[in-house]
Amino acid sequence: MRRDKLDAIDLRILSDLQTDGRMTNVDLAKRAGISAPPCLRRVRALEKSGLIRGYHADIDPAMLGYGVTVFAFVGLTSQAEADLVRFEEQVASWPLVRECFMLQGETDFLLKVVAEDLESYNSFLTHELTAAENVAHVRSAITIRHSKQEFGVPIESDA
């Protein structure tokens, strides 16, 4: 479903669910200004179209012992499609890597890595990431503070 096919009610539903994915259908319908059955149909259609990709809990990493977040800028020796795919498949197998972006420019990939501490990150860096086939170099940026986190995308609605 493309954005131009969405009306103000759909946008309101998306915005509200993006803010609170556990909102009941009744509360969601009330906020969107429609009754519950059509609201549920709209939500199911948004899910089926792929606009809503899933529902997730926002877990505090530090409370589970992951006190360090690092952004790793990875450069590869080869950017052939097969090599890029192979690297992405390897990244998918590393639990500490929470997000992976292929970039255009000097850096090939940006990885968001969570670790218990600097020692565990350095172990991952030396034994897995830099040891991976096709990795030419890695620059690490260790976060100091996390001051903003907004999920999804900005959605403006008149509803």
**Residue range 102-143, pLDDT digits in tens:** 999 999 999 999 999 999 999 999 999 999 999 999 999 999
Residue 99, H or E segment: strand 97-102
CA proximity to 116, closest of 96, 132, 131: 96
The band of 157, judged by pLDDT with boundaries at 50, 70 and 90, is low
Domains and CATH numbers, the chain: 3-49 (1.10.10.10), 62-142 (3.30.70.920)
CA proximity to 38, closest of 29, 50, 49, 46: 29
Q: What tens digit of pLDDT does each residue of 61-100 get?
A: 999 999 999 999 999 999 999 999 999 999 999 999 999 9
DSSP conformational letter for 127: I
Q: CB burial class (10 A; 0-12, 13-18, 19+) of residue 132?
A: middle
pTM exceeds cut of 0.85:
yes
